[in-house]
Amino acid sequence: MSSPSTADGDDEFTVGDAPARPYVESPIIMATVRIVAPFVFTLGAFVMFHGADSAGGGFQGGVIVGTVILMIAIAFGVGPTRDWLSSSFLTVLVVSGVALFMGIGLAAVAFGGAFLEYTAIPVSNASKYGIELVEVGIGIIVSGTVVGLFFALAAGHANDDAEGVEE
Amino acid sequence: MTPIEWAVLAFVLGCALATALLRDVLASIIAFAAYSLGIAVIWLVLRAPDVGLTEAAVGAGVTTVLFLLTIAKTVRPAGDDLFVDVDLTAVGVSGLLVAALASTLPALPPIGSASTPVATSRVTAYYLENAYPETGVKNAVTAVLAAYRGFDTLGEAVVVFAALIGLLVVLDRGVLA
């Protein structure tokens, strides 16, 4: 069990009976996450890619994929997980999602159609593949944002660093 | 309404009350997660699986984790009371709001009714007839979302992106680390 952070300067800094530091190293949680994570990731990818033919889509699938990283961070600690996924990787990921969505819209313009007019792109089933790619773009944005929000909230305000809130 | 639907409604109502009344914020957050899960089931009952999936993933899943992260940085109020002291003025205002919203309920059509404006509208008929031939995807919701209203969806995706950027600005951090 981890002990409450002594660097807080506030001994009553507790939530319920839990210690101030949210991370508790537990072999049960780590083993469970290790087993469950690949399945959750697969479900998320399925929901993202299969949104065209069944319930789901980029928003829902992206959240489920993002949850995998949240699970890993809860099981193995926020700090190590954040180091494992470098912050520039996350930023590039989220920006590339927006770029993918806009790129498909602009590709249609480049082939002489209107913005996001998939059928203007000279590929067979352009509309279906265009929608799938857009869903993937949305999924990338959403999963990156969910993970980003998690890390940003876990890290707290920039001024907190001096008080040792960093995991 | 089937007994299962009544049970889910009662569950949701109970979770909502628990969220509002429990004094311990941790217990309140857990009650709120259960509430979101109940609402997700209600979306399924209302034949909206796409929305139900979102509610379960975002409402019950991610929001709960973000709330837990946030309260980990707060201080628990002193005292051992199970429930908060109820403010009668707040109860009155909430009651008035619920009454005002409930007055619109009789105007809603029954669940699954074939004669609702949504089901009989020309727009609905157009989407159901043309979504597959025109866009090539079988889920009409996705066809509307990503093809017919693709520009709106681009805006939504950028809103999500902007939320992340906004949080980084509020937290005064240039990067996620």
Give the minimum alpha-carbon distance from B100 to chain A in angstroms, rounded to a whole number.
32
Chain B residues with beta carbon closer than 8 angstroms to that of A65: none
Q: State the pLDDT confidence band at B13, using cuts at 50, 70 and 90.
A: very high
Contact B39, B58 (CB under 8 A): no
Which of B53, B62, B176 is facing A47, going by the closest CB pair?
A: B53
Chain B residues with beta carbon closer than 8 angstroms to that of A13: 75
Query: Per the CB < 8 Å rule, is A118 touching B71?
Result: no
pLDDT by residue (tens digit) across A54-90? 888 889 999 999 999 999 998 988 888 888 887 788 8
Q: Which pair of tokens denotes residue B3?
A: 């007994």
Give the minimum alpha-carbon distance from A162 to chain B in angstroms, rounded to a whole number.
14
Residue with the bigger pLDDT between A51 and A138: it is A138
pLDDT of residue A142: 93
Separation between Cα atoms, residue A124 and residue B102, nearest integer Å: 51
Checking if the pLDDT of A22 tops 60, the result is no
Is the CB of residue A48 less than 8 Å away from at least one CB of chain B? Answer: no
**How crowded is residue A6: how many other Cβ atoms within 10 Å of its Cβ?**
9
Enter the DSSP assignment of B105: G
Q: Within 13 A of B80's CA, how many CA atoms are on the CB side? A: 0
Which of B69, B145, B161 is facing A153, going by the closest CB pair?
A: B69
Which of B61, B164, B172 is facing A157, going by the closest CB pair?
A: B172
User: Which ipTM score applies to this complex?
Assistant: 0.82
Beta strands in chain B (DSSP E): none
Query: Per the CB < 8 Å rule, is A16 touching B24?
Result: yes
pLDDT of residue B177: 53
pLDDT by residue (tens digit) across A107-156? 999 998 888 888 888 888 888 888 889 999 999 999 999 998 888 888 87
| Interior angle at CA A131, CA B131 and CA A86, nearest 5 | 155
Q: What are the residues whose beta carbons fall under 8 Å from the beta carbon of B132, sequence distance 6 or more?
A: B138, B140, B143
Q: What are the residues whose beta carbons fall under 8 Å from the beta carbon of B142, sequence distance 6 or more?
A: A51, A52, A57, A131, A135
Q: How many CB pairs under 8 A join A and B?
A: 177
List Cα–Cα distances, A81 to A41, A67, A87, A134, B128, in angstroms. 16, 13, 10, 28, 45
Query: What stretches of B22-62 show up as alpha helix (H) in DSSP?
Result: 25-45, 49-54
Sign of the torsion angle spanned by Cα atoms A25, A27, A33, A38:
positive
Chain A residues with beta carbon closer than 8 angstroms to that of B158: 98
3-state secondary structure of A164: coil
| Interior angle at CA A124, CA A119 and CA A125, nearest 5 | 65
pLDDT by residue (tens digit) across B38-91? 999 999 988 888 899 999 999 998 999 999 888 888 877 777 788 888 889 999
Domains of chain B: 1-75+86-113 (1.20.120.1200), 121-177 (no CATH)
Query: What stretches of chain A show up as alpha helix (H) in DSSP?
Result: 27-49, 58-76, 78-84, 87-110, 126-155
List Cα–Cα distances, A50 to A45, A53, A58, B118, B152, in angstroms. 8, 6, 9, 26, 21
pLDDT by residue (tens digit) across B82-141? 888 888 999 999 999 999 999 998 888 887 788 888 888 898 889 888 888 888 888 888
Is the CB of residue A10 less than 8 Å away from at least one CB of chain B? Answer: yes
Chain A residues with beta carbon closer than 8 angstroms to that of B62: 63, 66-67, 70, 146, 149-150
| Interior angle at CA A87, CA A157 and CA B64, nearest 5 | 60
